[in-house]
Amino acid sequence: MRDTFHDELDAITQTLVDMTMLVKQATKDATTALLTADLPLAEKVIAQDDLIDDMQHELDSRTMLLLATQQPVASDLRVLVTSLRMSADLERMGDMAHHISKLARMRYPATAVPPEASLTIEEMGRVAGLIIDKLAKIIKSRDLEDSKQLATDDDEMDKLHRKLIQSLISKDWPHGAESAIDLTLLGRYYERSADHAVSISRRVYFLVTGKYLQENA
């Protein structure tokens, strides 16, 4: 039988998974809002970002309380410290969805993404969803192989990002600087979201092993 403290640690992990699922939905909705100029959906993502922020604060308070009252060591301590960092990364991933939605809203009723780039952005949204799905599983399972693998999916995102930038600087980009700026920022938002996911998966590695997984800056 588990004691209350370990039940509380499990509950913290579960909250991280719940937060990840919220971020996934926000990212999915943001991409749809962006590609279809869906203003109500963009507004929804923007409004719901507060929810993710509140969830982070609530989770961090619980984590701090356990740190203060339970004096955890070894892997229990790593669960709590890692939770503080994961929650910060997840909150930033929520911000990325928020930024994407704000760009969708700013350009409404037009779409921020011209036809030449919409397939690439759609693909970036798809890869982001895939990565966040895997991330939720990794947070729950703490599987080290899966956690290392996530970097490979991130390579896919980086490839799409380069493709996007390449299309913007090609001679026949017909949509001018404003559109190029929008897409540069959008590309960066998707790429950063995936980077945060990789960073979280590295923290899982640390959580399990107590060692840092080598980063490729």
- Interacting residue ranges for a second copy, rule: CB under 8 A: 49-50, 53, 57, 64, 67-68, 71-74, 77-78, 81, 84-85, 88, 95, 98, 165, 168-169, 173, 176-178, 180-181, 184-185, 188, 212, 215, 217
**In whole angstroms, how close is the CB of 47 to a second copy at the nearest point?**
11
Burial 156-167 (b: 16+ CB within 10 A, else e): bbeebbebbbeb
Q: Which is nearer to a second copy, 49 or 154 (CB)?
A: 49
Calpha distance 173→181 (Å, rounded): 12
Q: What is the dihedral of CA 57, 61, 66, 69, to 10 degrees?
A: 170
Q: Which is nearer to a second copy, 72 or 129 (CB)?
A: 72
Q: Which is nearer to a second copy, 126 or 188 (CB)?
A: 188
Q: Which is nearer to a second copy, 37 or 81 (CB)?
A: 81
**In whole angstroms, how close is the CB of 199 to a second copy at the nearest point?**
9
**In whole angstroms, how close is the CB of 50 to a second copy at the nearest point?**
8
The 3-state DSSP class for residue 111 equals coil
Q: DSSP of 33-75, one letter per residue?
A: HHHHT-HHHHHHHHHHHHHHHHHHHHHHHHHHHHHHHH---HH
Calpha distance 77→74 (Å, rounded): 5
**In whole angstroms, how close is the CB of 129 to a second copy at the nearest point?**
23
Q: Which is nearer to a second copy, 109 or 174 (CB)?
A: 174
Q: DSSP of 120-181, one letter per residue?
A: HHHHHHHHHHHHHHHHHHHHHH--HHHHHHHHHHHHHHHHHHHHHHHHHHSTT--SHHHHHH
**In whole angstroms, how close is the CB of 168 to a second copy at the nearest point?**
5
CA 14 to chain centre: 17
**In whole angstroms, how close is the CB of 97 to a second copy at the nearest point?**
12
The 3-state DSSP class for residue 110 equals coil
Q: Which is nearer to a second copy, 86 or 139 (CB)?
A: 86
